[in-house]
Amino acid sequence: MPDGLSYRDAGVDIEAGDRLVEAIRPFAARTMRPEVLAGIGGFGALCRVPARYREPVLVAGTDGVGTKLKLAFAAGRHDTVGVDLVAMSANDVLVQGAEPLFFLDYFACGRLEPGVAAEVIRGIARGCELAGCALVGGETAEMPGMYAPGEYDLAGFCVGVVEASRIVDGRAIAPGDTVLGLASSGAHSNGYSLIRRVLERSAPPDGVDLLAPTRIYVRPVLALLEAVPVKGLAHITGGGIPGNLPRILPAGTRAVIEKRAWPRPPLFDWLERAGGIAEDEMWRVFNCGIGMAVVVDAAHAERAAALLSAAGETVYAIGRIERHDGVPQALLV
């Protein structure tokens, strides 16, 4: 009779998973908020809504990192993609005016390498610290045969809260308003399937870090919301400015964006040149240097820019809102 099989024989190491959970507890502990009642280790995480909210509305977002992970695998560098994971969801929650409360991650691989997984989750915890949200749990799935050796996938889920009367939804945007742009830290987590094709033709210039983590705008923008009436916020992700800014514009308006209002980072010049990418395609795929758009009344634009700059953001006045009879759009001029 053949020897009996174990789960380890099938490629799943339960003990390694248990060791990983213990290893990540200190990372998660640094992200805790007073509202969290139970976090890492349970079947579910418990979190109160902060008591200061009178009519709280929960805002949820989920996303991944995409094929940027392929570059992390190739480089053997796993310290930034966790920040990316948090940023993509936390920034999405933020644009509703919401304060991120907690975050959960999903890490899936064919064979668990605890050192790599811990590095990724350390980055996730760092992202949660930057976003002010608690890392309350997640799932580590070891699935032999599902992923190539040395590869993994990530997904994240963020929940935030906003006062019902303070939801930012763009409905107040009107002709004459100013569009401010907050600088990105690179391509963030979008367009990497195209970036990888360009890499087959050319190496990036010195000083360009393709694994630079997505910028997290939460703290400066939440502070701005307390000080200035913000009419609209747009996270510039896949689709670029033309695909994302119109999502917050009300009927009868368009955004006119001046392409020369900010210096385009060398990364995007290299991509366009080395890849022979058409300019329209560049704007449609990449953020081209602007990671978040903020729409305010023109009378508040100078103060808003000053507050964001003082909080560490690089800010540009990139456009204006005009009356427009067609479908809301972002016109690049």
Q: In the 8-state DSSP scheme, what is residue 186?
A: S
Q: Compute the distance between CA of residue 333 and CA of residue 328 in angstroms, rounded to an integer.
A: 16
Q: Compute the distance between CA of residue 177 and CA of residue 180 in angstroms, rounded to an integer.
A: 10
Provide the pLDDT for residue 305.
98
DSSP code per residue over 142-161: E-TTTS-TT-EEEEEEEEEE
pLDDT digits (tens, 9 = 90+) for 146-169: 999 999 999 999 999 999 999 999
**End-to-end Cα separation, the chain, in angstroms:** 76
CATH class of 14-166: alpha beta
Q: Compute the distance between CA of residue 125 and CA of residue 28 in angstroms, rounded to an integer.
A: 6
Q: Compute the distance between CA of residue 288 and CA of residue 263 in angstroms, rounded to an integer.
A: 9
Which string of b and e fits 166-179 if b means at least 16 CB within 10 Å? eebebeebeeebbb
Q: Pull the structure tokens for residue 223.
A: 């502070």
pTM of this structure: 0.93
| 137 — pLDDT class (breaks 50, 70, 90) | confident
Provide the pLDDT for residue 1.
52
Max CA separation in the chain (angstroms) = 83
Q: Measured in whole angstroms, how far is the alpha carbon of residue 24 from the centre of its chain? A: 22
Using CA atoms, how far residue 216 sits from 76, 109, 141, 292, in Å, is 23, 26, 27, 10
Q: Compute the distance between CA of residue 19 and CA of residue 23 in angstroms, rounded to an integer.
A: 6
3-state secondary structure of 19: helix
Contact 305, 261 (CB under 8 A): no
| 13 — pLDDT class (breaks 50, 70, 90) | confident
Q: Pull the structure tokens for residue 262.
A: 């900010």
DSSP code per residue over 50-110: PTT-SSEEEEEEEEE-TTHHHHHHHHT--SSHHHHHHHHHHHHHHTTTPEEEEEEEEEEES
Contact 295, 321 (CB under 8 A): yes
Contact 56, 49 (CB under 8 A): yes
Structural domain boundaries of the chain?
A: 14-166, 178-332
pLDDT digits (tens, 9 = 90+) for 217-268: 999 999 999 999 999 999 999 999 999 999 999 999 999 999 999 999 999 9
Q: Measured in whole angstroms, how far is the alpha carbon of residue 271 from the centre of its chain? A: 21
> Residues for the chain: how many in total?
333
Crossing angle (nearest 10°) for helices 218-227 and 114-131: 10
Q: Pull the structure tokens for residue 257.
A: 């964006």
pLDDT digits (tens, 9 = 90+) for 92-117: 999 999 999 999 999 999 999 989 99
Provide CATH code, domain 178-332: 3.90.650.10
Amino acid identity, residue 178?
Answer: T
Provide the pLDDT for residue 6.
66
Residue 156 pairs with which residues in a beta bridge? Answer: 63, 105
